[in-house]
A = this chain, B = another copy of it.
Amino acid sequence: MSVTVVGSIAFDAVRTPSGARERMLGGAAVHFSLAASFFDEVRVVGPVGDDFGEAEYAVLHGRGVNTDDIEHVEGGTTFFWSGVYGDNLNSRETLETDLNVFEHFEPKLSQASRAADVLFLANIVPALQLEVRRQCDRARFAALDSMDLWINIAREDLVKAIGSVDCVILNDEEVELLTGRPTVVSGAREILAMGPSAVVVKQGKYGAGIITHEGTFWLPAFPLEQVVDPTGAGDTFAGGFVGYIAAHPDAPIGLELLCRAMAYGSALASFNVEEFGTERVARLTGAEIAARVAELQRITAFTDAPVALR
């Protein structure tokens, strides 16, 4: 079995209260791939330029990610993003976005990528997400991410893309923007009505929730003493979440499996933000992930005890 992810491969420059990096490996598809690689074989589809070299491939290969479908655009330059985070990491300002080779990206999937058991459509133009979904029509589970830009300028295509997948992964502000509903529960129900069977609502440093027709599940973020760089946390979460589902090809995709998948996604995301870019996840071990999931379970569990209520 395998996971295919289509999305951006990038160099990021970030400044956070903990320091800065001038040029680090990033992009949604990269963060997703590294996280999902703990669970299944991952194929990453996305464009890079001449500046994308051995060092970057080595990070992906170091985690066993299959890079055969990375498209090298001759004479091109890799997508570049730079941003600066505020003091408490709640806010970030984009300083520069150079789409470069990503601007005219047309995903070309090999037969192997099309045969994926599980598909993740990272944040790209909704029309392309829909096109890739059609190419990967045998995937038993497909999820997508998006962003405010597409909600604002390509809503119709986005709603079609949403209708083509099993699961939508958005943050709470995006759910509100897409649906106009003031609570994530009512917003998520509206998204379920567009076709998917599950909506994951990311709440940044607070945690995440999932809403399905079966019920809901809510998980706080793993509490950290220090957060170094939030870049890629959402895609790392998605990689752990989708990867966990991919690792269970025989399990019914119901709320029980999805809850566990959320816990793995949260654990992965919490590691991601401990260091810059891909630095922490690139050298993460399965034992560390398992220990953090167990800890997350411990610090979110409570037992009720009957009390006489007056």
Chain A residues engaging chain B, CB cutoff 8 angstroms: 17, 37-40, 64, 87-89, 176, 182-186, 189, 203, 206-207, 209, 215-221, 223-227, 244, 247-248, 256, 259-260, 262-264, 285-287, 289-290, 293-294, 297, 299-310
User: How far is the CB of A170 from the nearest CB of chain B, in Å?
Assistant: 15
Considering the complex, give the chain B residue whose CB is closest to the CB of A184.
B223
Assuming the contacts A182-B87, A186-B225, asked whether A218 and B260 have C-beta atoms less than 8 A apart, the reply is no
Contact A304 B294 (CB under 8 A): yes
A5, B310: Cα distance in complex, Å:
18
Q: Which of B185, B256, B302, B303 contacts A225 (CB 8 A)?
A: B185
Q: Which of B184, B294, B303, B309 contacts A39 (CB 8 A)?
A: B309
A307, B40: Cα distance in complex, Å:
11
Kindly list chain B residues whose C-beta atoms are within 8 Å of the C-beta of A227: 182-183
A38, B290: Cα distance in complex, Å:
40
Q: How many copies of the shown chain assemble into the complex?
A: 2
In this complex, the member of A184, A220, A300, A302 whose beta carbon has the largest number of chain B beta carbons within 10 angstroms is A302
Contact A260 B304 (CB under 8 A): yes
Considering the complex, give the chain B residue whose CB is closest to the CB of A87.
B182
Kindly list chain B residues whose C-beta atoms are within 8 Å of the C-beta of A263: 302, 304
Which 8 A/B pairs are nearest by Cβ-Cβ distance?
A286-B309, A218-B220, A206-B206, A259-B302, A38-B309, A185-B223, A88-B182, A185-B225
